[in-house]
Structure 1
Amino acid sequence: MTRVPLVPRKKGAARARDAGFAGTEPYVAADTGIDTMSGFLPSNRAVDSEILPNRDRATARARDLVRNNGWAAGGIAKEVDSVIGANFRPLLKPDWRALGLSSEWAREFKEEVEARWRSYAEDPRCLADTTRAQPVPQMFGTAYRTYLIEGEALGLLNWRPSRPTKTTLRLVDPDLLSNPMDGPDQARLRGGIEISRDGVARAYHFRQGHPEALWADTTDPWRWKRIARETRHGRPQVLHFFDKTRDGQTRGISRLAPIVERLRMEDHYSRVELQAAVINAVLAAFIKSPMGPEVIDELFSDGGGEGFLNFQSARQKFYGDNGGVKVGGARVQALYPNDEIGMVQTARPAAQYADFESAVLRNIASGLGISYEQLASDWTKTNYSSARAAMIEIWRGWSARRTAFARGFCQPFFMAWLEEQVLDGHIVLPAGAPDFHAFWPAYSRAKWIGPGKGFVDPVKEAQAAAMRVALGLSTLEEEAAELTGTDYGDNMAQIRAEIADMPEGTLHPMQESFAKLLGHNGGPQMTPED
């Protein structure tokens, strides 16, 4: 064997290591000899071993912060409003190429399905909700809010024969998903979910009542019901959406988990500063007596207690009887001989409070996936470029989460509803069309539309949208959904009706815009008849 010569150590290397700047491992991240890393010894565990034992406490803390912390409540509300909004709905795009059908059929099918979905989902009678409490868009918003706070959204697809549309959705509190009799987790039963050998969640166990409910007069908290993930032919029965970050994960963890500590500390610090400011405002001034501790001690030690009490009685009587002298309507307070007025120094909140709070909120905003300006509603240091850059970054994250939630929670519900519509004959497929269940995803393929991105500069945004369409990089349908959250088909139908109602010889604003565009480019001038 050949001996490898040792590399001579430089002078001062030992001192450098002692100071905590030199390591002994190739990766500093794995070195325990560095002072800054010596106490940082987390263990590698299975993902469910990390989440399930701590999930209930993390969820309870996240719920408490959202209830009582304004920043947490505001951050959650902003994301729900931006990702789901008030009218989260599908924009049907049946894959007519995969089905071997025509694009004309796809257009007619899209219009018919979307019209029936609107009647079902937006029904003010809330017949789509098993509990008849919310229409479908609001149920989606509630489910997404639950996902943000608790890490997962749960729903059950029920069948109610007495309703016009029998498919209904029931949102379920994640607390009810648990092992029967609160048993320990096992290899094939973890967090209330039965898992197959391939790692598939095949059934869910739901407690029939919350264990902490005030009405403890039933046995429901100690009864469980097993519900299969789907029926034999594939109709979904349980909707379970969460962020899966590692292989083997069966339950989700709150999105607030990484920032719970900072939210709690910021809340406590703000409360202490506010209390100090209130105390300073209440105790604005005080009266100082000329009798110090030495005088009082001398009076009592010499048996002069009566003298001290007489002195205090005289002072009290003086301040109680003396109403003060008024000059020009203002009262001049007279002081007892040798008394002085003292003022409380109002140095709170601390001068660094605003900067400190901004730094903490930036960390919290990053954890929530939004910008500091959005979380704090502070736009004082924002210009168009920075606002535009922030919107692009934040919108990219929101779009990804919207797509994931739509595919994992909303789309299976929509597929179950469409199945009922087809099987009951409300929506008729053309003769020779492929079997519905064999091409279920192709028939129900959809893009889900929520609130639009909005505008930082409306003129520039509209011009950029027109350029993307002109270059073939986008479509009018995509731009309408992206910028304003509207349906292009509905827009065009309304525009056609408005053009028909315009007085003779008057151009609709849309026609006028195109006329100006064509005239500017040297093209033919448009007439009202065009």
Structure 2
Amino acid sequence: MTERLADLTRVPLVSRRKRGAMRDAGFNGSAPYVAADTGIDTLSGFLPSNRAADAEILPGRDRITARARDLGRNNGWAAGAISKEVDGVIGANFRPLLKPDWRALGLSSDWAQEFKEQVEARWRLHADDPRRYCDTTRSQTMPQLFGSAYRTYLIEGEALGLVNWRAARPFKTTLRLVDPDLLSNPYDAADEQSLRGGVEVTRDGVARAYHFRQGHQDSAWANVADAMTWKRIGREGANGRPQVIHFFDKARDGQTRGVSRLAPIIERLKMEDHYSRVELQAAVINAILAAFIKSPMGPEAMDEMFGDGDASAFLNYQEGRSEYYSGKGGVKLGGARIQTLYPNDEIGMVSTARPAAQFADFEAAVLRNIASGLGISYEQLASDWSKTNYSSARAAMIEIWRGWTARRVAFSQGFCQPYFMAWLEEQVLDGHIRLPGNAPDFHMYWPAYARAKWIGPGKGFVDPVKEAQAAAMRVALGLSTLEEEAAELTGTDYADNMEQIGREITAMPDGMLHPAQESFAKLLGPAAGGPAQVSED
């Protein structure tokens, strides 16, 4: 019995050769972490190096940018995803909702409300002017400028702008968007410790100045002298006024330039584009060539005809077939033509199994990967809601909106807010907006005066009734405010809404109630959640 137990518990010996095979298969790695083992077949060729952030990005950045631009121009999925994100994050009327920190300033809330209304009115005059004075090039309004900047950030990885001063305009502060290609080291010099990718940095890693090429080196009309001339512009002026606005996602310490958001999915986008193009070409060819006629002229028949070196037999045969198919073949029966074939010819049909059976599944799998890389759902990227119910659509919207909200906050704080602060400085110093006598120094408390929340498009509704009821419950429980709900769901300013509703109530004829009034909901009875009967006053 003891010997039997020993046999059952004995560990079998493994030869050295077999041990090596097991190690290669990943059962017994040579490193504490399998992820660091170089002896495993699946990871043996996967040996990336650790480099500094700029050493990873800058050498290949131009090629990544060129490929991302090409996909944005020519790939429908990429172009659609870019447009959807720009429309969802920035939209048509991206604007600040001023929230001055009156507590930090030691002023009253009444002053804050008056200051807010005055600044926002002045901003609307500046941003929405159809003469487009806010743009240095006078081609876009301010929301359009922000949309273009965000599109550039999405495709190229960064947005660049210059805060200019044009004394002849109604508002002297203007914004000029700059092509990131123009930001480069003078004379295309190699990167160094204090100058990388055209950005001049201090010992602390602070971007101190930017070097801009005065003309694009690859434009047909560019002056050679301009293309080889650089201008150095400091990040800020003497009093801290922004001069260059540079926004990008900083993933690592020491990073000075951004990389395209499309970089992780460029390969898959290109592969999907190529595969779908091949499938489309095959389908077109099948549609054009539906059938064909097979001739019996095989190798044996050809040898027999040309065996004596006389080609006349073959030529006579082809001539006879040509005459037959030119209209002599076939008979009529009751006025209907019955087509017959030349002797020994056969009809062949082209298979029309296009697109391939696996094409739809493959494309859906690739698009899911692309959508995940872009931070949106497959349904939104492909505009395919056929397999989506309310719960899944709601969950997808929440996830997408969380990501878009984070990007909106980051972009507004990194690109829009610096320009807004420069514009507000002009308004205060020129006397268009007056501060009270006991107000603290403007430049000392610049961020408190210019504090704002930027409003873009609303989240929208999957089920309008459920969304409105949920918003009312959040406000009732103190989890949100009417201002927050108006901005999130519809992208509007609650104060403007209430002001307009007040005017509408005043304009209502006698005896007619406005829908916003509580008594109107009661009159609707159970349909609006009110009592079935309402007593008259």
Query: Which interval holds the TM-score relative to the shorter structure?
Result: over 0.9
Match of 1:378 among 370, 373, 384: 384
Contact 2:163–2:243, Cα closer than 8 Å, also in 1: yes
Q: What residue is the counterpart of 2:8 in the other structure?
A: none
Aligned-pair distance for 1:298? 1.8
1:126 is the counterpart of 2:96 = no
CA distance in 1, matches of 2:41, 2:419: 54
Contact 1:477–1:487, Cα closer than 8 Å, also in 2: yes
Alpha-carbon deviations, 1:492-513, whole Å to 9, x = none? 1110010001111221001046
CA distance in 2, matches of 1:245, 1:9: 50
Matched residue type, 1:392: I
Aligned-pair distance for 1:119? 1.0
Matches within 5 A, 1:151-230: 151-230=157-236
1:392 is the counterpart of 2:391 = no
CA distance in 2, matches of 1:135, 1:76: 20
Matched residue type, 2:240: G
Contact 2:194–2:202, Cα closer than 8 Å, also in 1: yes
Secondary structure in 2 matching 1:510: coil
Match of 1:58 among 47, 64, 74: 64
Aligned-pair distance for 1:20? 3.6
Aligned-pair distance for 1:289? 1.2
CA distance in 1, matches of 2:361, 2:324: 48
Match of 1:291 among 275, 290, 297: 297
Alpha-carbon deviations, 1:91-126, whole Å to 9, x = none? 000000000011011011101100110111011110
Aligned-pair distance for 1:36? 1.0
Secondary structure in 2 matching 1:219: helix
Alpha-carbon deviations, 1:397-453, whole Å to 9, x = none? 000000000000000000000000000000011111111101000000000000000
Contact 2:504–2:514, Cα closer than 8 Å, also in 1: yes
Contact 2:97–2:454, Cα closer than 8 Å, also in 1: yes
Contact 2:329–2:341, Cα closer than 8 Å, also in 1: no
CA distance in 2, matches of 1:92, 1:467: 26
Aligned-pair distance for 1:280? 0.9
Match of 2:370 among 343, 364, 371: 364
- State the TM-score, normalizing by the size of structure 1: 0.94
Alpha-carbon deviations, 1:303-327, whole Å to 9, x = none? 2311011111111122224386667
Q: What residue is the counterpart of 1:5 in the other structure?
A: none
Matches within 5 A, 1:247-326: 247-322=253-328
10 and 244 in structure 1: CA distance in 2 versus 1, 3 angstrom threshold: farther
Contact 1:322–1:334, Cα closer than 8 Å, also in 2: no
482 and 326 in structure 1: CA distance in 2 versus 1, 3 angstrom threshold: farther
Matched residue type, 1:314: G
431 and 216 in structure 1: CA distance in 2 versus 1, 3 angstrom threshold: closer
Secondary structure in 1 matching 2:516: helix
Match of 1:333 among 339, 342, 365: 339
Aligned-pair distance for 1:34? 1.3
Aligned-pair distance for 1:469? 0.6
Q: What residue is the counterpart of 1:463 in the other structure?
A: 469
175 and 100 in structure 1: CA distance in 2 versus 1, 3 angstrom threshold: same
Q: What residue is the counterpart of 2:112 in the other structure?
A: 106
Alpha-carbon deviations, 1:154-192, whole Å to 9, x = none? 000000011011000000000000000000001000000
Q: Percent identity?
A: 77
Aligned-pair distance for 1:127? 0.2
Matched residue type, 1:146: T
Unaligned runs of 5+ in 2: 1-10
Secondary structure in 1 matching 2:211: strand
Matched residue type, 2:249: D
Matched residue type, 1:183: A
Contact 1:180–1:207, Cα closer than 8 Å, also in 2: yes
Matched residue type, 1:283: L
Match of 1:40 among 21, 46, 61: 46
Unaligned runs of 5+ in 1: 1-7
CA distance in 2, matches of 1:10, 1:367: 48
Q: What residue is the counterpart of 1:506 in the other structure?
A: 512
Matched residue type, 2:219: A
Aligned-pair distance for 1:340? 1.5
- State the TM-score, normalizing by the size of structure 2: 0.93
Report the RMSD for the aligned CA atoms in angstroms: 2.1
Secondary structure in 2 matching 1:204: strand
1:97 is the counterpart of 2:103 = yes
Q: What residue is the counterpart of 1:422 in the other structure?
A: 428
CA distance in 2, matches of 1:140, 1:329: 72
Contact 1:129–1:168, Cα closer than 8 Å, also in 2: yes
1:345 is the counterpart of 2:351 = yes
258 and 228 in structure 1: CA distance in 2 versus 1, 3 angstrom threshold: same
Q: What residue is the counterpart of 1:476 in the other structure?
A: 482
Matches within 5 A, 1:425-440: 425-440=431-446
Matched residue type, 1:30: A
491 and 225 in structure 1: CA distance in 2 versus 1, 3 angstrom threshold: same
Aligned-pair distance for 1:361? 0.2
Matched residue type, 2:310: G
Q: What residue is the counterpart of 1:80 in the other structure?
A: 86
The count of aligned residue pairs is 520
Matched residue type, 2:58: L
Contact 2:215–2:222, Cα closer than 8 Å, also in 1: no
Matched residue type, 1:209: G
CA distance in 1, matches of 2:491, 2:465: 18
Match of 2:242 among 233, 236, 240: 236
Match of 2:35 among 29, 33, 58: 29
Secondary structure in 1 matching 2:343: coil
Aligned-pair distance for 1:302? 1.9
CA distance in 1, matches of 2:185, 2:381: 38
CA distance in 1, matches of 2:332, 2:140: 65
Aligned-pair distance for 1:218? 4.4
Matched residue type, 2:159: A
Q: What residue is the counterpart of 2:418 in the other structure?
A: 412
78 and 328 in structure 1: CA distance in 2 versus 1, 3 angstrom threshold: farther
Matched residue type, 2:522: K
Aligned-pair distance for 1:63? 0.4
Alpha-carbon deviations, 1:178-222, whole Å to 9, x = none? 000000001000000100111100000000000010114442111
521 and 269 in structure 1: CA distance in 2 versus 1, 3 angstrom threshold: closer
CA distance in 2, matches of 1:78, 1:301: 70
Alpha-carbon deviations, 1:266-314, whole Å to 9, x = none? 0000001111111111111001112222101221122231101111111
